[in-house]
């Protein structure tokens, strides 16, 4: 992953930390499994643990 992509990923994760619902559920029946885009060509998938107020990244895709 290029440095600018990594920076975009970190920036987006900081935004998600402030507002985790600024993302999309992967499946409607599991709303805590979510994904969002970052940079020009990235997708990050994560699990939102609301009681603990944490996110756990489980997949990152950079198409570049």
- What's residue 37's pLDDT? 97
Rounded to an integer, the average pLDDT of 18-35 is: 95
Residue 43: pLDDT over 90 = yes
Cα separation, 30 vs 18, whole angstroms: 21
Q: Please tell me the pTM assigned to this model.
A: 0.90
Q: Is the pLDDT of residue 26 over 90?
A: yes
Instruction: Report whether pLDDT(64) > 90.
Output: no
Mean pLDDT of 35-61: 96
Give the domain range for residue 28.
3-62
d(CA 58, CA 37): 14
How big is the chain by its Cα radius of gyration, in Å?
A: 11
**pLDDT of 8 over the 90 cut:** yes
Give the span between the Cα atoms of 37 and 18, in whole angstroms: 16
Which one, of 61, 49, 62, 58, lies nearest residue 17 by Cα? 49
User: Total structural domains in the chain?
Assistant: 1
Question: Phi/psi of residue 18, each to 5°?
Answer: -80, -35
């Amino acid at each position: 992953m290029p440095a600018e992509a990594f920076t975009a990923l970190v920036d987006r994760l900081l935004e998600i930390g402030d507002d985790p619902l600024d993302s999309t559920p992967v499946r409607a029946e599991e709303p805590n499994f979510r994904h969002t885009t970052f940079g020009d060509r990235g997708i990050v998938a994560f699990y939102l643990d609301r009681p603990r107020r944490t996110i756990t990244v489980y997949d990152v895709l950079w198409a570049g």
